[in-house]
């Protein structure tokens, strides 16, 4: 069986409700997954939840709940959220799944048996919030630790360490030889700078049960649980193992229950992650994989962070964007469109309600919505909804945009792809204004010219449905249905000019993006 295109997102801490940042990342991954399927590839898209560790234990405690019960309850909300975003994930991992825990333990046993792990006493400072040990380098000039570390405590405890020393050079070489491994390139340069200017400290991968009980037990010492990141990163291979990926099961020497499929998935083609967790993915994860004898993922695609109205998104200050409220009010396609059209994958972005409203009305309602509605309504009114003979006036414009979009989707250039698609929307709306079919309709001598214009418009709408499908699947489906076409416009190969046949009867036009009076 051929390896599928395997794309993942970061798995979210389940210590509250999902927000804009979580939603944005999942939408990026979904659009890439859908785009690859539209291009004809077999895809496996994985997302899910990071349920262990201190943050989740504390959140459960704060509500007086048992952590597992707390996670089970919230996981329902998060799964519903994935549905509300229109995600087409093929699986949903929870790190409390038995299938995941099994592979984490098998991975730990393997790296331990191969001499990558040792036990030592750590004395020093520890950030509870970041679940990380701090060094002198983390101190500010006045000797204090940055408030972002939250409560800092002094610790003296024995733990297991995963060796990172001596792993630096091959990783630097690898990143230098594989420019696509970390994208965008400025993130790659940051990682290279970090690796070249610092000596890696070995990574503490255990927490004593006495201090933190909410984790996966270390298989070779029952007094400890696994550090949450060693647990979480493994989700990218535990789910392939659960689907019968033999490269993973044999690497970790796992004697898994017989899975009901045999999907080769690893290595991942893309891990979509935020800028704050690059070090875990670009430094620790590759070293873990090498120790396990597994190949590295092909790409880390790193997105920036959203702010709202120029300030940090924060529950405590109330500066939040609730994606569910936006989706309920404006529709999921409007949400997906805004976040991807507004922000390229890489830099930080700023959500403003005014910006959202203005893209909704200019690009969705007046742009795409108006084009489809005017085109289909005129065909209905002037030709009883029957498609006239093919004409090629807009063919070259459409073909150029299809080729451009295809190339951009192959490079995960989602914002640029939307810009290209919207150049066709604008072109077609201008074509209506210039050719004025509503005037020609009054003159029977212009019947042939009117036929030509109507064909060009309706065929452009059909092609646009195919192009927007990865981004706006619901809207694309509606356009297709209004065109009286069966199924979903989910294959880019259908975006060939002239496929709409003369005599085809379209369905009933209806507004795609109802106007809002705000």
Q: How many CB atoms lie within 10 A of CB 507?
A: 15
Q: How far is the CB of 325 from ligand MSP (least distance, A)?
A: 17
Cα separation, 428 vs 417, in Å, equals: 17
Q: Which stretch binds ligand MSP (CB under 6 A): 11-19, 168-176, 246-254, 471-479?
A: 11-19
Q: Does 322 bind ligand MSP (CB under 6 A)?
A: no
Q: Does 13 bind ligand MSP (CB under 6 A)?
A: yes
Q: Does 333 bind ligand MSP (CB under 6 A)?
A: no
Q: Does 313 bind ligand MSP (CB under 6 A)?
A: yes
DSSP characters for 404-462?
A: HHHHHHHTT-HHHHHHHHHHHHHHHHHHHHHH-HHHHTT-GGGHHHHHHHHHHHHHHHH
194 vs 305, which CB is nearer to ligand MSP?
A: 305
216 vs 401, which CB is nearer to ligand MSP?
A: 216
Total interface residues for ligand MSP by CB under 6 A: 18
- Which residue has its beta carbon closest to ligand MSP? 274
Q: Does 21 bind ligand MSP (CB under 6 A)?
A: yes
Q: How many CB atoms lie within 10 A of CB 101?
A: 19
DSSP characters for 309-378?
A: TTEE-BTTTTB---HHHHHHHH-HHHHHHHHHHH--SSS-EEE-HHHHHHHIIIIIIIIIIHHHHHHHHH
* Per-residue exposure over 278-289, b if at least 16 CB sit within 10 Å of its own CB, e if not: bebbbbbbbbbb
Q: Does 320 bind ligand MSP (CB under 6 A)?
A: no
Helix, strand and coil in the chain, % to nearest 5: 50, 15, 35
Q: Does 305 bind ligand MSP (CB under 6 A)?
A: yes
Indicate the angle between helix axes 414-435 and 332-342, nearest 10 degrees.
110
273 vs 483, which CB is nearer to ligand MSP?
A: 273
| Closest alpha carbon to 459 in 391, 385, 370, 383 | 391
**Residue selected from 4, 12, 67, 388 as contacting ligand MSP according to rule CB under 6 A:** 12
Q: Which stretch binds ligand MSP (CB under 6 A): 20-28, 214-222, 359-367, 403-411?
A: 20-28
82 vs 233, which CB is nearer to ligand MSP?
A: 233
Q: Does 22 bind ligand MSP (CB under 6 A)?
A: yes
Q: How far is the CB of 211 from ligand MSP (least distance, A)?
A: 20
Q: Does 252 bind ligand MSP (CB under 6 A)?
A: no
Cα separation, 375 vs 207, in Å, equals: 64
**Residue selected from 5, 6, 7, 25 as contacting ligand MSP according to rule CB under 6 A:** 25
**Residue selected from 125, 266, 306, 431 as contacting ligand MSP according to rule CB under 6 A:** 306
Q: How many CB atoms lie within 10 A of CB 319?
A: 15
**Residue selected from 48, 274, 369, 388 as contacting ligand MSP according to rule CB under 6 A:** 274
**Residue selected from 128, 172, 277, 395 as contacting ligand MSP according to rule CB under 6 A:** 277
Cis peptide, bond prior to residue 184, ω within 30 of zero: yes
Q: Does 342 bind ligand MSP (CB under 6 A)?
A: no
Applying CB under 6 A, the residues found at the interface with ligand MSP are 10-13, 21-22, 24-25, 50, 232-233, 273-274, 276-277, 305-306, 313
């Amino acid at each position: 069986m051929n390896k599928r295109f395997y794309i993942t997102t970061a798995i979210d801490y389940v210590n509250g409700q999902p927000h804009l940042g979580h939603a944005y990342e999942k939408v990026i991954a979904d659009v890439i997954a859908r785009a690859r399927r539209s291009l004809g590839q077999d895809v496996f898209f994985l997302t899910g939840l990071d349920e262990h560790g201190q943050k989740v234990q504390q959140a459960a405690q704060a509500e007086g709940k048992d952590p597992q019960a707390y996670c089970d309850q919230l996981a329902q909300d998060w799964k519903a959220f994935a549905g509300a975003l229109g995600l087409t994930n093929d699986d949903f991992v929870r790190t409390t799944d038995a299938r995941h825990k099994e592979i984490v333990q098998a991975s730990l046993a393997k790296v331990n048996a191969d001499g990558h792990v040792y036990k030592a006493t750590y004395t020093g400072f520890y950030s509870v919030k970041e679940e990380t040990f701090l060094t002198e380098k983390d101190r500010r000039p006045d000797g204090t630790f940055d408030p972002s570390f939250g409560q800092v405590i002094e610790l003296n405890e024995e733990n297991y360490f995963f060796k990172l020393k001596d792993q630096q050079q091959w990783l630097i070489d690898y990143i230098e030889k594989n420019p696509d491994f970390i994208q965008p390139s400025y993130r790659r340069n940051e990682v290279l700078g970090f690796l070249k200017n610092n000596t890696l400290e070995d990574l503490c991968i255990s927490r004593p049960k006495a201090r933190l009980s909410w984790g996966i037990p270390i298989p070779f010492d029952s007094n400890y649980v696994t550090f949450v990141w060693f647990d979480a990163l493994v989700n990218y291979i535990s789910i392939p193992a659960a689907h019968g990926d033999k490269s993973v099961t044999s690497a970790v020497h796992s004697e898994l229950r017989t899975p009901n499929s045999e999907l080769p998935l690893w290595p991942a083609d893309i891990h979509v992650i935020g800028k704050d967790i690059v070090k875990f993915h670009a430094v620790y994860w590759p070293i873990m994989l090498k120790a396990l004898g597994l190949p590295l993922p092909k790409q880390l695609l790193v997105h920036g962070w959203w702010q709202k109205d120029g300030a940090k998104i924060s529950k405590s200050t109330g500066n939040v964007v609730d994606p569910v409220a936006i989706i309920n009010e404006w529709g999921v396609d409007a949400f997906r469109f805004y976040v991807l059209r507004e922000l390229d994958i890489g830099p930080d972005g700023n959500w403003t309600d005014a910006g959202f409203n203005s893209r909704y009305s200019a690009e969705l309602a007046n742009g795409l919505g108006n084009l489809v509605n005017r085109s289909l309504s005129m065909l209905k009114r002037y030709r009883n909804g029957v498609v006239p003979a093919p004409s090629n006036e807009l063919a070259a414009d459409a073909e150029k945009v299809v080729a451009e979009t295809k190339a951009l989707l192959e490079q995960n250039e989602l914002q640029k792809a939307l810009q290209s698609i919207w150049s066709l929307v604008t072109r077609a709306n201008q074509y209506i204004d210039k050719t004025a079919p509503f005037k020609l309709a009054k003159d029977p001598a212009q019947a042939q010219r009117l036929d030509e214009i109507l064909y060009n418009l309706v065929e452009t709408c059909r092609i646009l449905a195919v192009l927007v499908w990865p981004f706006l699947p619901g809207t694309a489906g509606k356009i297709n249905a209004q065109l009286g076409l069966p199924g979903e416009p989910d294959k880019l190969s259908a975006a060939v000019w002239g496929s709409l046949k003369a005599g085809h009867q379209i369905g009933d036009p209806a507004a795609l993006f109802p106007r809002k009076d705000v």
